[in-house]
Amino acid sequence: MSGMPVEQQVVARARKAFLTGRSKALSYRLSQLKGLRRLITEKQRDIADALRKDLHKSENATQLYEMIGLEGEIDLAVSHLSEWAAPRPVEQSLLTVADEVYIQPEPLGVVLIIGAWNYPWAVTVQPLIGAIAAGNAAVIKPSEVSSHTSKVMEELLPLYLDKELFPVVTGGVVQTQELLKQRFDHIFYTGNSTVGKVVMEAAARHLTPVTLELGGKSPCYIDKDCDLSVACRRITWGKYVNCGQTCIAPDYILCEPSIQDKVVKEIRKCIKEFYTDDPKTCPDYSRIVSLRHFRRIVALMEGSSVAIGGETDEAQCYIAPTVLTEVTSESKVMQEEIFGPLLPIIPISGTDEAIEFINKREKPLALYVFSSSDKMIKRMIADTSSGALLANDCLVHYTLSDLPFGGVGSSGMGHYHGRYTFDQLSHLRSCLIKKLRMERVNQVRYPPHTAQKLRWARLFLLKRVDVGQWRRAAQAVALVTLAAYVVQVRRPERFTSILYCTSYTFGFNV
Amino acid sequence: LSRKQVVDRAQQAFLSGRSRPLGFRLQQLRALHRLITEREADIVAALKQDLNRSRFDTPLFELIGLENEIRLAESSLSEWAAPRPVKKNLVTASDDVYVQAEPLGVVLIIGAWNYPWALTLQPLIGAIAAGNGAVVKPSELSSHSSDLLKELLPQYLDKEMYQVVTGGIPESQELLRQRFDHIFYTGNSIVGKIVMEAAARHLTPVTLELGGKSPCYIDKNCDLSVACRRITWGKFVNCGQTCIAPDYILCEPGIQQRVIEGIQQTLMEFFTDNPKSSPDYGRIINRRHFDRIVGLMEGCTVALGGQTDSSECYIAPTVLTDVSPHVRLMQEEIFGPVLPIVNVSSIDEAIHFINRREKPLALYVFSSDKKVIKRMLSETSSGGVTVNDVIMHYTVTSLPFGGVGNSGMGRYHGKHTFDQLSHHRAYLIKSLAMESLNQARYPPMSPARLKRARFFMQTWLCSCRRLACVWAAVATMVALVMRFYINFRLNFMYTFS
């Protein structure tokens, strides 16, 4: 094995471990998931310390935005694993009524998980939960940008999980490129569209299916008829959490000029309430992850007016919670996903213009609509597209394990969370188990073909018999018969009267 | 019209929004149904020229299946397109939470030549049902069918929303440079990689229905005559040019002779002793494939058949024995009427043989022994499985049809096509009320707030449907209990008064 790049060795080892078959047993998967759960609870301190160094995240924020979600997902997987992994029966046709017909979830093999740096634990470990639950091996490549966290992952994961089945590979672009040359059975990537294309192209060489959780500019439309103070509070929270470095943060606001001043006023109030007059000293306010991103975001402010905030401190990668006005679609800040604490407000004349503005751009990962009018919300739903749509709040759809989380178009492909991760990282194999009997039925399909045979085949194949419906009807008849018998035995005269009434209703005389 | 103009037109048609209402989609599906029923004779004639298909084979293997799918889509469309409710937690208890399928946009459908109508129109049915526009590119190898499709489709369907582009490789390449919202490709793995690479440039999701060598394991414990009959049917239908045809047989040497006899007897029954003259026996699609398949037979022992006629692209139903795993025949998908029998000494060896190769599109196992079947299924992987028959899992619309690994990605048939060509958008509709519930998440953060947040986020409620059933059951039981109790009390009182 020497002479092979490290990445190749790691993948080969993971594949060998997968081929032993030990990850298939449900008990094994459960033990790994429980190990992961213990890691999260026992090593809270180490995890929180690393995140503080990477992103200036407070311990409370780490818990709220990363750990609670992961705990919930692991608990969900543990309690539902046997249900998810069981054969799933499907509706039978007339031809297969005597056969076993079902879908069997199976592991794919070795999954590559490429994590991101903004919520390093959430977006790297959540796919891992699904990978483990589905019985796969997984190579985990955390983002090098959140370097302290990736180091902690490299140290801790082997202490709690199977070292060969779930190895961690750290490193930068070079290591990632080497990994992408290897053959995987699925690649799960969280990050930006540019690298997303590179990942998919690399996957194409091996015909590897991919899940791409990308980003984009998530618009936030505020209708003039709505409770602005609540709306702005929720938007302020969603925007400045993690210093704006959230893939589903409301990227920019669209609203009518008449309410713009009020919106700015409300946001200013909320910023003060959440982060005090001096957010720099507030423990709940994070920092930009790196100097490169800091400079990128600061440059985006060019050409727009600062209505709130605007202060920066390069030494700390600190950017104050900022609101920009006098923004047009040509402004610098509207050319790329901000991924920082700048909130541009773009004036539009009404719902029509807002919808047009949104549809001229790439489909976003999330679309936010604030309105008290059901009609308006329905219009937004019908006339736009996005990964997800939230009315009257931000971010929280992420916390619902039953909602598929993913993008569309430029914002990504595939989805996960809860059972969706399990399904995404499984092969759902169709199984039809017949017997070698009843060969007569098959005569219709064998040559020599005749018009007569074809007529029979048509009958068999085209007669839409909902086997389930017939079964239910038969059960209903059985129940009614039983009920009639019981009634007759206990109250003969009642039975006669029911019979009389029923026959009268159906129009014939008894 | 250049390829770009075709795609732009379909895009404009989609953006007009007219494919969204269910009424439009149903109307288009009905029109497609009429196309298939009214023009059956033309379709049959085209296929006879392309593949020497008999007039019974075409409806049997292509049109009936399509009719079935259209009918299913018509009757189930409103159910498929309806919002699907979702389990909520305590935070979202009073909100509307659901998933709803929406159209993706313009779908590119690249068809194959072996079942040119089924493999091109079946994805189209799903594309229409899902509210998309589509550009259909039938295979140039089945040229009569693709010309006919180009002529007929605009006569029945919305001309701009659903367009047909014919042509060969240069036209396909130009199409692949355009931006689509989904690409649905049926064909081989080599071109599959090219399609996916092209899709990557626009971040377009793909469905690849590819192929491979579908193994067929015959256990010594089974009714060999029935097994051989079913295998023979599946292998030689369409002259072996079926993506899920049993590619090769694995069996123990002890039963090999009986297997050959079984196949021989069945061939006689199906195609007479002169298959060339049987109207039910097809031809190879073209000279190139004919030469390819004949080349694969070189160096192998012919147990049955082996005759060829290049002027007709005719290859007799052929069985080869004593096939070594290393010959070229065993390195690529045969896609022809040549059935090699590879000897294995046990089920272990068979499983090992299968697993050393790429994951196939289909796996076939013939056995009466449940343990054998269980082992085969649990120790191998494949797109789909049929046990004790071949091909039939394709016909069950509720089973998703697709490959895994080299045999493809994504799946379709029935509702699965609709789902594959839709975007499942997540919805959370809240109100601006009850803001106090949100306090726990706002800064300044504290352990107390965190505890509250945790409680709200991790308490689950059932989705409404299940809850309603539970309540109905509980209410019924309570009512029954109360009735019996009241009856009892009344009788008691009656007795004592």
Residues of A in Cβ contact (< 8 Å) with B435: 230, 233
Partner residue facing A200 (CB), from B203, B210, B441: B203
Exposure letters B158-195 (e unless 16+ CB within 10 A, then b): bebbbbbbeeeeeebebbbebbbbbbbbbbbbebbbeb
Residues of A in Cβ contact (< 8 Å) with B102: 385
Q: Which of A119, A161, A120, A117 is nearest to A139 (CA)?
A: A161
* Shortest CA gap B299–chain A (Å): 31
HEC secondary structure over B154-209: HHHCCCCCEEECCCCHHHHHHHHHCCCCEEEEECCHHHHHHHHHHHHCCCCCEEEE
In this model, does residue A1 exceed pLDDT 60? Answer: no
- Say whether B241 sits in a helix, a strand or coil: coil
* Shortest CA gap B144–chain A (Å): 23
Work out whether the CA dihedral B233, B238, B239, B243 comes out positive or negative. negative
The A88-89 sheet, strands edge to edge:
A88-89, A100-107, A426-433, B384-387, B362-366, B215-218, B248-251, B338-343, B318-321, B301-304
Residues of B in Cβ contact (< 8 Å) with A401: 87
Contact B68, B125 (CB under 8 A): no
Q: Indicate yes or no: CB of A392 within 8 angstroms of CB of B88.
A: no
Q: Which long-range contacts (CB under 8 A, 24 or more apart) does B78-86 make?
A: B78/B22, B80/B129, B80/B415, B80/B418, B80/B419, B81/B22, B81/B131, B83/B427, B85/B463, B85/B464, B85/B465, B86/A400, B86/A402, B86/A403, B86/B463
Q: Indicate yes or no: CB of B87 within 8 angstroms of CB of A402.
A: yes
In sequence order, which residues have a C-beta less than 8 Å from that of residue B59 and are 6 or more positions away?
A: A454, A458, B40, B44
Q: Indicate yes or no: CB of B426 within 8 angstroms of CB of A404.
A: yes
Partner residue facing B445 (CB), from A60, A387, A457: A60
Given the residues A7, A73, A213, A266, the one annotated as active site: A213
For position A464, what pLDDT does the model report?
58
* Shortest CA gap A507–chain B (Å): 31
What tens digit of pLDDT does each residue of A380-410 get? Answer: 999 999 999 999 999 999 989 999 999 999 9
- Output the CA–CA distances (angstroms, integers) from residue A89 to A101, A177, B186, in the order listed: 6, 41, 27
For position A510, what pLDDT does the model report?
43
Which residues of chain B have a pLDDT value below 70?
460-467, 497
- Say whether B96 sits in a helix, a strand or coil: strand
In this model, does residue A498 exceed pLDDT 80? Answer: no
Distance CA B225, CA B440 (A): 71
* Shortest CA gap A140–chain B (Å): 20
Query: What's the gap between Cα B389 and its chain centre?
Result: 18
For position B16, what pLDDT does the model report?
96
In sequence order, which residues have a C-beta less than 8 Å from that of residue B224 and are 6 or more positions away?
A: B218, B255, B258, B259, B262
What tens digit of pLDDT does each residue of B408-440 get? Answer: 999 999 999 999 999 999 999 999 988 887 888
* Shortest CA gap A96–chain B (Å): 8
Given the residues A220, A247, A270, A317, the one annotated as active site: A247
Tell me whether residue A247 is one of the annotated catalytic residues.
Answer: yes
Bridge partners (DSSP) of residue A313 are A318
Q: Indicate yes or no: CB of B87 within 8 angstroms of CB of A401.
A: yes
Distance CA B195, CA B485 (A): 71
Q: Indicate yes or no: CB of B443 within 8 angstroms of CB of A428.
A: no
Q: Which residue of A has its CA nearest to B93?
A: A400
In sequence order, which residues have a C-beta less than 8 Å from that of residue B159 and are 6 or more positions away?
A: none
Q: Give alpha helix (H) positions in B237-334.
A: 253-271, 287-297
Contact A358, A375 (CB under 8 A): no
Distance CA A411, CA A396 (A): 18
For position A502, what pLDDT does the model report?
66
Q: Which residue of B has its CA nearest to A61?
A: B445
Contact B393, B385 (CB under 8 A): yes
For position B433, what pLDDT does the model report?
87
Q: Which residue of A has its CA nearest to B231?
A: A446
Contact A413, B200 (CB under 8 A): no
Is the N-terminal amide bond of B103 cis, ω within 30° of 0?
Answer: no
A476 CB burial (10 A radius; 0-12, 13-18, 19+): exposed
Q: Which of B112, B114, B154 is nearest to B134 (CA)?
A: B154
What tokens were used for B15? 């953006």
What tokens were used for A275? 């982060």
Pairs of CB atoms within 8 A across A/B: 284
With left for phi above 0 and alpha for psi between -120 and 50, is residue B388 left, alpha or beta?
left
Q: Indicate yes or no: CB of B398 within 8 angstroms of CB of A429.
A: no
Q: Which of B417, B409, B353 is nearest to B379 (CA)?
A: B353
Q: Which residue of B has its CA nearest to A397?
A: B428
Tell me whether residue B333 is one of the annotated catalytic residues.
Answer: no
Q: Which residue of A has its CA nearest to B459?
A: A72
Mean pLDDT across chain A: 93
Distance CA A91, CA A484 (A): 31
What tokens were used for B14? 């989609």
Residue whose pair of structure tokens reads 């519930």 in the numeric block: B437
Share of chain B above pLDDT 90, in %: 82
Distance CA B423, CA A413 (A): 9
Query: What's the gap between Cα A176 and its chain centre?
Result: 23
Q: Which of A201, A229, A242 is nearest to A398 (CA)?
A: A242
Partner residue facing B399 (CB), from A95, A432, A451: A432
- Say whether A358 sits in a helix, a strand or coil: helix
What tens digit of pLDDT does each residue of A98-154 get? Answer: 899 999 999 999 999 999 999 999 999 999 999 999 999 999 999 999 999 999 999
Residues of B in Cβ contact (< 8 Å) with A400: 86-89, 92, 97, 428
Residue type, B238: N
Partner residue facing A390 (CB), from B279, B400, B428: B428
Q: Which residue of B has its CA nearest to A76?
A: B458
Q: Which of B200, B47, B261 is nearest to A214 (CA)?
A: B200
Q: Indicate yes or no: CB of B269 within 8 angstroms of CB of A446.
A: yes
Residues of B in Cβ contact (< 8 Å) with A417: none
What tens digit of pLDDT does each residue of B244-257 get? Answer: 999 999 999 999 99
Residue whose pair of structure tokens reads 């009267």 in the numeric block: A497
For position B385, what pLDDT does the model report?
97
Q: Which residue of A has its CA nearest to B179?
A: A409
Residue whose pair of structure tokens reads 């919670």 in the numeric block: A321
Residues of A in Cβ contact (< 8 Å) with B14: none
In this model, does residue A294 exceed pLDDT 50? Answer: yes
Distance CA B393, CA B378 (A): 18
Q: What is the mean pLDDT of residues A283-308?
A: 96
Residues of A in Cβ contact (< 8 Å) with B442: 233, 237, 273-274
Reported in sequence order, the residue ranges of B267-378 that DSSP labels E, i.e. its strands, are 301-304, 308-309, 314-315, 318-321, 338-343, 362-366
- Residue B237 per-residue DSSP state: G
For position B447, what pLDDT does the model report?
87
Share of chain A above pLDDT 70, in %: 94
Residues of B in Cβ contact (< 8 Å) with A243: none
Partner residue facing B443 (CB), from A72, A274, A429: A274
Residues of A in Cβ contact (< 8 Å) with B189: 207
For position A468, what pLDDT does the model report?
67
Distance CA A299, CA A293 (A): 10
For position A475, what pLDDT does the model report?
86
Greatest Cα-to-Cα distance within chain A, rounded to the nearest angstrom: 96
Distance CA B181, CA B184 (A): 10
Partner residue facing A96 (CB), from B64, B396, B444: B396
- Say whether B250 sits in a helix, a strand or coil: strand
